[in-house]
């Protein structure tokens, strides 16, 4: 699963920064049929967790109402230099992870 994350490379301590993620995923609703008329089973990225230096800062539970190739933007306070890591899983149990580092100055 390809994904892209966007985190500012540098920030000032206490600054509110925007974080964005996009994951390549069909977000199969379970309401579609293949060419042979067989229903395509539901398979969506159902959870995305974001951790900042190990601590969870954001979690999303997603359903089939989220558009294909899910995109999300949220914010966090820049506290310390380190890593922002995303982990996600879909209904088929396939997992993905993507990380970005941030340098925080006083």
Partner 1 sequence: MPRPHRRRFLVTLAALGLLPRAGVRPAGAAENDLAPIIAKITSGKALQPGRVRIETPLLADNGHSVPVRLTVESPMSAADHVSTISLLSDRNPRPVIATYHLGPRAGRARIATRVRLNGTQRIWAIARMSDGSCWSGHADIVVTESACLDGS
Partner 2 sequence: MLPRSLRHACALACLFVWTCTQIGPVFAADAERPSPLRSGIEFTSADVRSLQDDDFQNPGMLWVTRGEELWRVAAGKSGKSCADCHQRAETSMKGVAARYPVYDAAAGDVVNLEGRINLCRTHRQAAKPLVYESENMLALTTYVAHQSRGARVEGAVPTELRASFERGRERYRKRIGQMDLACTHCHQQNWGRTLLAQTISQGHGNAYPAYRLEWQSLGSLQRRLRACYFGVRAEMPPYQSPELLDLEVYLAWRGRGLTIETPGVRR
**Contacting positions for partner 1 (CB under 8 A):** 16, 29, 31, 52, 55, 57-68, 70-77, 79
The angle subtended at Cα 72 by Cα 82 and Cα 64, nearest 5°, is 135
- When CB distances are held under 5 to 8 angstroms depending on the partner's kind, the choice from partner 2, partner 1, none that residue 3 binds is partner 2
Q: Are 5 and 98 in contact (CB under 8 A)?
A: yes
* Partner whose binding site includes residue 4, from partner 2, partner 1, none (CB under 5 to 8 Å by kind): partner 2
Closer by beta carbon to partner 1, 26 or else 95: 26
Task: Indicate which of partner 1, partner 2, none lies near residue 74 (CB less than 5 to 8 Å, by partner kind).
Answer: partner 1
Residues at the interface with partner 2 (CB under 8 A): 2-4, 6, 20, 22-24, 26-27, 29, 31, 67-69, 71
Task: Give CA–CA dist 70/24, Å, rounded.
Answer: 7
Nearer to partner 2, 79 or 100 (CB): 100
Beta carbons of 96 and 87 less than 8 angstroms apart: yes
d(CA 12, CA 48): 26
Strand partners, 14: none
């Amino acid at each position: 699963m390809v994904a892209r994350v966007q985190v500012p490379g540098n920030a000032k301590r206490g600054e509110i920064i925007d974080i964005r993620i996009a994951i390549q995923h069909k977000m199969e609703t379970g309401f579609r049929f293949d060419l042979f008329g067989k229903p395509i089973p539901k398979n969506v990225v159902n959870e995305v967790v974001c951790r900042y230096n190990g601590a969870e800062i954001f979690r999303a539970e997603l359903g089939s109402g989220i558009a294909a190739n899910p995109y999300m933007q949220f914010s966090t306070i820049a506290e310390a230099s380190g890593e922002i890591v995303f982990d996600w899983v879909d209904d088929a149990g396939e997992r993905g992870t993507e990380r970005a580092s941030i340098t925080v100055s006083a």
